[in-house]
Amino acid sequence: MRIAAILIAAGSGTRFGAGMPKQFLTLAGKPVIRHAAEALATHVSLLQPVGEAAPIDAALAGVAGLLPTVAGGATRQDSVRAGLDALIPFAPDIVLVHDAARPVIPAGTIQALTAALRESPGAIPGAPVADTLKRAERGIVTETVPRAGLFRAQTPQAFRFDVLLGAHRSGLTGATDDASLLEAAGLTVAIVPGSDDNIKLTYPDDLIRLERIMTMPPTPRVGTGFDVHKFEAGRPLVLCGVRVPHDQGLAGHSDADVGIHALCDAIYGALAEGDIGRHFPPSEATWKDADSARFLVHAAGRIAARGGRLANADVTLICERPKITPHAPAMIARLAELLGVDAGRISVKATTTERLGFTGRGEGIAAQAVVSVLIPEQLSSENAGS
């Protein structure tokens, strides 16, 4: 499925009133439009900017999937149309239309939109209206407007490409968003949850609110994991993703990598997302003899999905034999690779239990792990970490 995005940036930002169009202002160290582009780029293979080429190209240099900028039009609708026309040769299945003035695309928004397109030709994020609504004339309230069923329409808005192109070709004018063109044609537009963090930079105060959201320090979270597997003859011994020469391996449903299992549980624990058994039930035959590396890649993916990153992980293997220390550098390198982090964030060490207990008697290996992850607490955004 080919997904394209149109990033419209041809507006002049008259309400904001800066010396330049608001989408080129710096926010949390980057141009506003670049935040929007980076959030889209992780989900689409084609990114079509619309507006004045020179400032857009300067702001977006190096963003993945970037197509040559095309000029916009007098209205937002004209600008979207220019982007659609430029995408025709690529024949995308889905197109997302996004305002360059919206630097935050909350996490999960794009997945929800594309999922909704299976049922409907269009889908938009909508934030429910919390305040009581009034109509007023010359400073006097004339009416209270029932807010039930009212939503604030945000972007990105998602469409089946040919449907949106058809809607734009229908000759309707005056649309302030793209969904309204489908609505006018009697086509279904689904609503997925919008967010108050998805602010459209319009007035100077919005820049202050966005700066506050985007520079908020992440919250450190800690998780612990513990696991035990008993020795079994005739199986390979895999510890922290590394094959360790030994006269016996560990018994277990998967490859019984006790170190990775403890580490996964520590990560799921830090995220408060259950444990390894919840994500990979031992009752499922799929995980029999499975390489535990895939469990750890999944756990790392959960950190990423929450917009977070791993600060550090510390794994302790508990056994009398084999000797772990000679293999520790290889284990550290492998775990770092699977987690997609610097080796300096990972520690693997070992201890014996002075020949006491089941590990002391050589009946099996135990492992414990502690991790610290940094998760943006209030803003869960596609942008985080990029």
Give me the least distance between CB of 213 and ligand CTP, in Å please.
18
Residue nearer to Mg ion on the CB measure, 11 or 364: 11
Residue nearer to ligand CTP on the CB measure, 21 or 376: 21
Residue nearer to ligand CTP on the CB measure, 74 or 233: 74
Give me the least distance between CB of 95 and Mg ion, in Å please.
21
Q: Which of ligand CTP, Mg ion, none does residue 218 bind (CB under 5 to 8 Å by kind)?
A: none
Phi, psi dihedrals of residue 301, rounded to the nearest 5°: -65, -35
Kindly indicate which of the ranges 4-12, 94-102, 274-282, 305-313 contains the residues binding Mg ion, using the contact rule CB under 5 A. Answer: 4-12
Supply the angle between the helices 293-305 and 328-339 in degrees, to the nearest 10.
50
Give the E-state strand segments of 86-150 in sequence order: 94-99, 122-128, 133-137, 140-145
Instruction: Tell me the C-alpha distance between 303 and 374, whole Å.
Output: 9
Give me the least distance between CB of 303 and ligand CTP, in Å please.
31
Residue nearer to Mg ion on the CB measure, 83 or 252: 83
Residue nearer to ligand CTP on the CB measure, 195 or 359: 195
Give me the least distance between CB of 10 and Mg ion, in Å please.
10
- Whether the CB-CB separation of 1 and 93 falls below 8 Å is answered with yes
Q: Which of Mg ion, ligand CTP, none does residue 253 bind (CB under 5 to 8 Å by kind)?
A: none
In the range 58-77, which residues lie near Mg ion by CB under 5 A? Answer: none
Give me the least distance between CB of 12 and ligand CTP, in Å please.
5
Q: Which of ligand CTP, Mg ion, none does residue 101 bind (CB under 5 to 8 Å by kind)?
A: ligand CTP
Q: Which residue is nearest to ligand CTP (CB)?
A: 11
Give me the least distance between CB of 72 and ligand CTP, in Å please.
4
Supply the angle between the helices 76-87 and 161-169 in degrees, to the nearest 10.
130
Question: Beta 133-137 vs 26-27: how paired, if at all?
Answer: unpaired
Cα three-residue angle 33-380-41, rounded to 5 degrees: 40
Instruction: Tell me the C-alpha distance between 240 and 70, whole Å.
Output: 50
Non-local CB neighbours of 6 within 8 Å, separated by 6+ positions? 48, 50, 80, 83, 84, 87, 95, 96, 97, 98
Binding residues for ligand CTP, per CB under 6 A?
Answer: 8-16, 21, 23, 50-51, 72-76, 79, 99-101, 200, 202
- Whether the CB-CB separation of 319 and 352 falls below 8 Å is answered with yes
Q: Which residues of this chain interact with Mg ion, rule CB under 5 A?
A: 11
